[in-house]
Structure 1
Amino acid sequence: MSVCEQGIMHSIEQAINALKDTLKVQTATQTLALQAAHQRVLARPVFAQIDVPQWDNSAMDGYALRANDLIQAHSSLPLAGRIAAGDLPDQRLPAGQCMHILTGAPVPSGADSVVAQEECVVSAGHVQFKHCKAGDNIRRRAEEIQQGQLLLPAGTRLRAQEIGLLASQGYAEIEVYRPLRIGLISSGNELCELGQPLQPGQIYDINSYSLAALWQGLGFTVTHYPRMPDDLPQTRDCLAKASGEQDLLISSGGVSVGEEDHIKNAVSSLGQLNLWRVAIQPGKPLAFGCIGNTPWIGLPGNPSAALITSLIIARPALLAAQGVTEASPQCLSIPALFDWKKARPRQQYLHARLVLQENGQLHVDIHPKQSSAMLSAASWADGLVEIKPQQTIKTGDCVAFIAYSSLLN
C-alpha cells in the first residue's frame, strides 16, 4: 500500500526503511582481478589460505639468540652468521652463539629472542648486549591470521586496506557484486549545460556532476541523461526510456509543489509513488517510488538539499541494495562553538567544520550560510552537524557530528 499521503511528513528513519523496501537487493556477481576490485562489495565470505606470518620472524634488525646463553656468557656472544628476509626458514642457531638477523627474516631454530642492533655493540666477531628478555621482538607464526579463519565477511566494501589483506593471502581474483547501474537525470528549463554561455534566467546544471561524483565514489556505475524539460509528456518519455536501461533512477528537481514540477505525476502514471515529503531540513520534498519495475528516487533541486538527502537517506539504502552489510556513518559527540536558539520541527543538517582549540580539544563550528541552494558551505565543511527536531544548542553543548570522510566512504 502506498505510504504517500497528502499532508504527512515521514521521519528520516521511515524514509530510509521504506526506500530499502523499494530497492532491489543486488544478486548478480562477477569475478574481478584484485587490482580492479577497489570499492566493490564482496559477494562471498573469504577465508585465510595461509598463516600470517608463516613462520616466526624478526620484528626488527638485530641479533637472534637464546636468552639463557646470554646470561651464562656475561652479556657477550660470538657471531655465527647472518639471516635476511627471503632466506629459507630452516637455519639453526649454534649453541652459545648469536646471529645477525634483519627485519622479516625467519628466526633460526633454537633462538628465542631478538635484540635490536642499536642496543648492541659489535667488535672482533663478538656482540655485546645491554639486556635481553626471552620472546622479545619476535613475530610468532599465525599471530595475525590463522589458516582457515574468516578473513572478510560477505558485504564488505573493499578499501585499500582490504585489498592489501586479500593480497597477503595470495588472492589474485575475488568475487564481488556487480555494481548497481544508476541513471541520473536533472529536471528544469532553467538548467544550462557546462561549457555553454548562460542565457537570462539560466543556471548551470550542478546536481548532475556533484551527484555523479558521489555515487561513482561509492562504487556505483552512473549514466548521465540529458536534462528533462518542465513538460509532463517529455518527462514521462524520458523516465520510461531510462527506466528500461538502469537498475535505479535518481532525478533532481521537479518534486515540489510548483506548477512546473511534473515528475511526481509522471512517476504515478508510469508506476507508483511510494513516499513524498520527509521531515528533514534541507530536503523536505524528497520522493521515491517505481517506474514499472525500476526504483526511482526524486531528490530536491537545490544543490545542498540534493547532496544532504543523498548522503543521509539515499546512501544507506543504496549501499544495502548493493550488498553492503554495514553502511552506518560514524557519529561523533563534539562540543559546539555556536548557538542554535530557534527550535525547528524538522531534523536539521548543518555544514560544519572541526576547529582545534589551543588546549588541544576539538570543537565544531557551523558555516554562517546554510541555504539549501549553496554548495560553497559544503565545500568549506568537514561534515554535518545533526540537530534533532525541537532541539536548541548553546556554545559548549555536545552535538552530533558526521564527518564527510565517513559519509563518502
Structure 2
Amino acid sequence: MSSAATRPAGPDRLWSVDEHLEDILTTVRPLEPIELQLLDAQGCVLVDDVTVPLSLPPFDNSSMDGYAVRVADVAGASEEFPAVLEVVGDVAAGAAELTPVGPGQAARIMTGAPLPPGAEAVVPVEWTDGGLGEGPVAGMRARSLAPEGAEGHVRVHRPAEARAHVRARGSDVKAGDLALEAGTLLGPPQIGLLAAIGRGTVRVRPRPRVVVVSTGSELVQPGEGLGSGQIYDSNSFALTAAARDAGAIAYRVGAVVDDAETLRSTIEDQLVRADLLVTTGGVSVGAYDVVKEALAHVGDEDEPGGGIDFRKLAMQPGKPQGFGSIGPDHTPLLALPGNPVSSYVSFELFVRPVIRTLMGLDDVHRPRTTATLRAGKALGSPKGRRQFLRGAYADGEVTAVGGAGSHLVAALAQADALIVVPEDVEAVEPGAEVEVVLLG
C-alpha cells in the first residue's frame, strides 16, 4: 500500500468526499488468496471459476416413494380396473445392485434411489394399494405392501407418463457447466453446491481482519457505573458490528485513554492481527486529539513509505478524517471522528468500501437510489458541504429522522438510509427528489 502522506495536501485544503474515497481505494488492494475448507470459506469471495466435474444428479432417480414401472403396464389403470404388477424387488437410496423391471413387473423405490433398468416412470405409493393400513410412507418401508390374497403384487390405480416422478441425470447441472463464477460471495447455498459437486476445499480471498480502537478518557465500558463527565463507549461497538456486517472478522479494543504513547503502543500491539485498523475519536483540532498526536509522524523515519494524513472534508457530519498506513506491512488505517453519527457515517462511506475491496468484491458500495422527501420541514444544509442526514426509506419515499446533530445516536438507530444533500444545495423542500444511500 502506498502512502497517502506522500501526496501534496496543505493543512488548509478541503477535500471532497469523492477525492478522499478515491485516494483511499486507489491504495488498497484485495488480500492474497488462500485455500480453505468449505465451512471456513463461508463469507469469503471465490477467486477462480468453479466448473462442475460431474452431473447433478449423477443418475436418474426417484422423486417419490413409490414403484418403478413401465409406462405400458399402467396405461389405462383406474380405481375400478387397476393394473396388477409383480413386485420384483426393493430399490433404496444408495443401492448399487438394481433388479431390472420387465413387462408386468414393478420395483418398490424410495425417494432418491436410482431408477432400475427397464423402468420408465415412478408411480407414487398413494396411487397404489401398497400402503393400506400403515400410511403411505410406512407401508412403503415395510417389506410386504400387498393386500391379503395378492402377496408379491401391487395394484396401481392411475396411469403414469414416461419419466413421471423421475429426476433426470444432469437436470440440476451437467458436467462441464460453470457452477460458480470468480468473485462470488460464498453463502450457505454456494457452500452447499460446492459440497454437492465434491469440492472439499476452495480458493478464496479471506475475510479481512479489522481492529477497532476507540479513544477517550471519558469512555466507560457498558455495564460499568458512570462517573462525573463520563459516557459509555458506543462507537467501538457500533463500528465493530458494522465491520462484521460488511463481511469482516472484527475485533474490538476497549477504549484507550487520551495518552499518545498508550495509543501508539496499543495500535502497534494490534498490528499482528489486523488487515485494517480503524480508530474513532481524537482527529480534530482539540488539545487532547491523541490520534493525531500519536500517528501524525508515523513513517517519517522508522517506517518509510508509511504515514497517516489527517485532513478536512467538505462533508457534514465527519469533517475531520485520517487515512494512511502503519507498521512494517503498511497496514491501512482509517481514523474516524469521535461523535457517534460522524463515526458511523464515515464508516459507511469510507471503511465499508475498504473492507469490501480487501475481500475482492467488485461492487464495494452501498446501493443508492432516488426518493421523494416526505412532507415535513425543509432540510437545511451548509453551503459547500455534502450533508448526510439520517432517513427512513420505504416505497420510494424517505423521511428525515432526528436532527442534524452528530451526537444523536438514538435517531441513528431508527434510520435505514442516508439522505444526501449536495454541496451546492442549501435547502431541500418536501416533495423534492433526493439521493438516498440504503443502509439495510
Flag whether TM exceeds 0.5 (same fold): yes
Partner residue in 1 for 2:339:
302
Q: Does 1:126 align with 2:130?
A: no
Instruction: Give the drift of 1:68.
Output: 4.9
Partner residue in 2 for 1:402:
438
Would you say the 8 A contact 2:183–2:361 is kept in 1?
Answer: yes
Q: Any unmatched runs of 5+ in structure 2?
A: 1-5, 131-146, 148-153, 300-306
Moved more, 317-326 or 332-341: 332-341
Partner residue in 2 for 1:170:
198
Instruction: Give the drift of 1:180.
Output: 3.3
Would you say the 8 A contact 1:64–1:100 is kept in 2?
Answer: yes
**TM-score under structure 1 normalisation?**
0.78
Q: Does 1:77 align with 2:83?
A: yes
Instruction: Give the drift of 1:73.
Output: 5.8
Instruction: Check 1:87–1:237 CA distance in 2 against 1; reply closer, same or farther (3 A cut).
Output: closer
Instruction: Give the drift of 1:318.
Output: 1.7
Moved more, 327-336 or 78-87: 327-336
Cα distance in 1 for partners of 2:352, 2:334 equals 11
| Amino acid in structure 2 at the alignment position of 1:295 | P
| Amino acid in structure 2 at the alignment position of 1:18 | D
Report % sequence identity: 29
Would you say the 8 A contact 1:80–1:94 is kept in 2?
Answer: no
What is the CA deviation profile of residues 188-226 of structure 1, one whole-angstrom value per residue up to 9, with x for unaligned ones?
222123443222111111122222233345453444445
Would you say the 8 A contact 1:338–1:366 is kept in 2?
Answer: no
Would you say the 8 A contact 1:20–1:321 is kept in 2?
Answer: no
Cα distance in 2 for partners of 1:102, 1:25 equals 48
Cα distance in 2 for partners of 1:320, 1:155 equals 11
Residues 147-296 of structure 1 correspond to what in structure 2 (within 5 A)?
147-232=175-260, 234-239=262-267, 242-243=270-271, 246-264=274-292, 266-271=294-299, 272-274=307-309, 276-292=311-327, 293-296=330-333
Partner residue in 2 for 1:387:
420
Cα distance in 2 for partners of 1:27, 1:128 equals 62
Cα distance in 2 for partners of 1:370, 1:137 equals 62
Aligned match for 1:341, one of 378, 386, 397: 378
**TM-score under structure 2 normalisation?**
0.73
Aligned match for 1:376, one of 403, 406, 410: 410
Instruction: Check 1:115–1:38 CA distance in 2 against 1; reply closer, same or farther (3 A cut).
Output: same
Q: Any unmatched runs of 5+ in structure 1?
A: 355-360, 405-409
Cα distance in 2 for partners of 1:88, 1:386 equals 63
Cα distance in 1 for partners of 2:64, 2:93 equals 11
Q: Which has the larger radius of gyration?
A: 2
Would you say the 8 A contact 2:219–2:233 is kept in 1?
Answer: yes
Instruction: Check 1:49–1:330 CA distance in 2 against 1; reply closer, same or farther (3 A cut).
Output: farther
Instruction: Check 1:346–1:333 CA distance in 2 against 1; reply closer, same or farther (3 A cut).
Output: closer
What is the CA deviation profile of residues 123-158 of structure 1, one whole-angstrom value per residue up to 9, with x for unaligned ones?
7621111x6444443322122223344433444333
Would you say the 8 A contact 2:296–2:309 is kept in 1?
Answer: no
Would you say the 8 A contact 2:29–2:357 is kept in 1?
Answer: no
Q: Does 1:17 align with 2:19?
A: no
Moved more, 57-66 or 306-315: 57-66
Would you say the 8 A contact 2:402–2:408 is kept in 1?
Answer: no
Cα distance in 2 for partners of 1:171, 1:258 equals 56
Partner residue in 2 for 1:53:
57
Residues 107-122 of structure 1 correspond to what in structure 2 (within 5 A)?
107-118=115-126, 120-122=127-129
| Amino acid in structure 2 at the alignment position of 1:55 | F
Partner residue in 2 for 1:407:
none
Instruction: Check 1:103–1:396 CA distance in 2 against 1; reply closer, same or farther (3 A cut).
Output: farther
| Amino acid in structure 2 at the alignment position of 1:198 | L
Residue 157 of structure 2 aligns to a residue in which SS? Answer: strand
Would you say the 8 A contact 1:329–1:402 is kept in 2?
Answer: yes
Residue 286 of structure 1 aligns to a residue in which SS? Answer: strand
Q: Does 1:320 align with 2:357?
A: yes
Residue 182 of structure 1 aligns to a residue in which SS? Answer: strand
Instruction: Check 1:303–1:326 CA distance in 2 against 1; reply closer, same or farther (3 A cut).
Output: same
Cα distance in 2 for partners of 1:89, 1:306 equals 66
What is the CA deviation profile of residues 265-296 of structure 1, one whole-angstrom value per residue up to 9, with x for unaligned ones?
54331133457344554333333112352321
Instruction: Check 1:342–1:217 CA distance in 2 against 1; reply closer, same or farther (3 A cut).
Output: closer
Cα distance in 1 for partners of 2:212, 2:324 equals 15
Partner residue in 2 for 1:352:
392
Cα distance in 2 for partners of 1:116, 1:329 equals 49
Instruction: Count how many residue pairs are aligned between Structure 1 and Structure 2.
Output: 393
Cα distance in 1 for partners of 2:86, 2:22 equals 68
Instruction: Give the drift of 1:297.
Output: 0.1
Instruction: Give the drift of 1:299.
Output: 1.4
Would you say the 8 A contact 2:283–2:310 is kept in 1?
Answer: no
Partner residue in 2 for 1:357:
none
Q: RMSD value over aligned CA atoms? A: 3.8
Instruction: Give the drift of 1:264.
Output: 3.5
Would you say the 8 A contact 2:68–2:122 is kept in 1?
Answer: yes
What is the CA deviation profile of residues 92-147 of structure 1, one whole-angstrom value per residue up to 9, with x for unaligned ones?
332355555433222333444445555x3537621111x64444433221222233
Instruction: Give the drift of 1:18.
Output: 2.2
